[in-house]
Structure 1
Amino acid sequence: MKFQPDQPLGGNMISKHDLHHVWVNGVEQAHSVLVPWQGQPEDWDVTRFEDLTEAHFERILKRKPELVIFGSGSKIRFARPALYRGLIDARIGMETMDIGAACRTYNVLASEGRAVLAALLIEP
């Protein structure tokens, strides 16, 4: 039996979440946020699912992840593929989940050292 904690290979971990907040590395985020496997999390300037645009997904593309976990809020809502066409063309996978599943999945992939990015939509 192993008694030491696992150390994530990625740089960021989501330690807690609810419908209106996530805690990245112990720091509360009360707004939509992009959480890369390494580097600083950054505000994602979208507050409603209906307001998503191509520009929101272009910001993700600049980080060059191998996989995007899109947390679409309290329920699963799929963005139109035209909005994330740049990710498709760059052969970057995107999975859509509710916020809880997205946080858990991100942590597993980041702990494996995968180049994953969580795009978490936090609605007021």
Structure 2
Amino acid sequence: MKLQPDRFDVQAITGYGPGWVGVGTERITHSVVISSQGERFDWELPSYEALGPQHFERLAKLDAEVVIFGSGGRIRFPKAAWLRPLVQARIGVETMDTAAACRTYNVLAQEGRRVAAALLLEQPG
């Protein structure tokens, strides 16, 4: 049974795999932030080891109810102190692997939620 519409009314993730995500017809191979409000920007994050507080400070400026952090091929949590800007802005944060983050983002975006996905895309190798 088909449960998803043929057309999305919000920016949607149309596919994903190791080291890439699809947004519309575009294939993105670097870490990226997308939001249901139409924002999208490169997230200067080549690997989980490069993750730092500055990455979450930028996310706190988004008009989002919740940020979904896709931590790569497996779930890895950021330091709690790094999430302080999001907590202070009253933005919820969920951490999951990037594949799960893509799926969850689409569900919440289609429900009309103000959601952003911060996706770590590490190149396989």
Q: Normalised by the size of structure 2, how large is the TM-score?
A: 0.90
Distance (whole Å) between structure 1 residues aligned to residue 116 and residue 28 of structure 2: 16
Query: Could you tell me which amino acid in structure 1 is paired with residue 5 of structure 2?
Result: P
Once the 2 structures are TM-superposed, how far is the Cα of residue 112 of structure 1 from its aligned partner? 0.7
Q: CA deviation at 1:8?
A: 3.5
Residue 105 of structure 1 is matched in structure 2 by 104
1:40 and 1:23 map into 2 onto residues whose CA distance is 15
For 2:12, give the aligned amino acid.
Answer: M
Q: Alignment partner of 2:100: what SS? A: helix
Inter-partner Cα distance in structure 2 for 1:71 and 1:29: 14
The aligned counterpart of 1:114 is 113
Please list, as runs of the form range in 1=range in 2, the aligned pairs for 1:4-43 lying within 5 A after superposition: 5=5, 7-9=7-9, 11-43=10-42
Distance, in Å, in 2 between the alignment partners of 1:26 and 1:99 is: 19
Correspondences of 1:5-84 after superposition (within 5 Å): 5=5, 7-9=7-9, 11-84=10-83
Contact 1:8 1:112 in 2 (8 A): no
Judge conservation of contact 1:106–1:116 (CA < 8 Å) in 2.
yes
Distance in 2, matches of 1:62 and 1:87, equals 8
Q: d(CA) in 2 for partners of 1:87 and 1:8? A: 27
* Aligned CA distance change for structure 1 residues 110 and 20 (closer, same or farther; 3 Å): same
Partner Cα distance (1:98, 1:5) in 2:
25
Inter-CA distance 14–5: structure 2 relative to 1 (3 Å threshold): same
**Is contact 1:19-1:99 (8 Å) kept?**
no
- Percent identical pairs in the alignment equals 51
The answer to whether 1:86 aligns with 2:85 is: yes
> AA paired with 1:20?
G
Alpha-carbon deviation of 1:5? 3.0
Q: Extract unaligned runs of 5+ from structure 1.
A: none
* 1:64 CA drift (Å): 2.4
Cα distance in 2, alignment partners of residues 74 and 62 from structure 1: 26
For 1:23 and 1:76, the matched residues in 2 are separated by 20
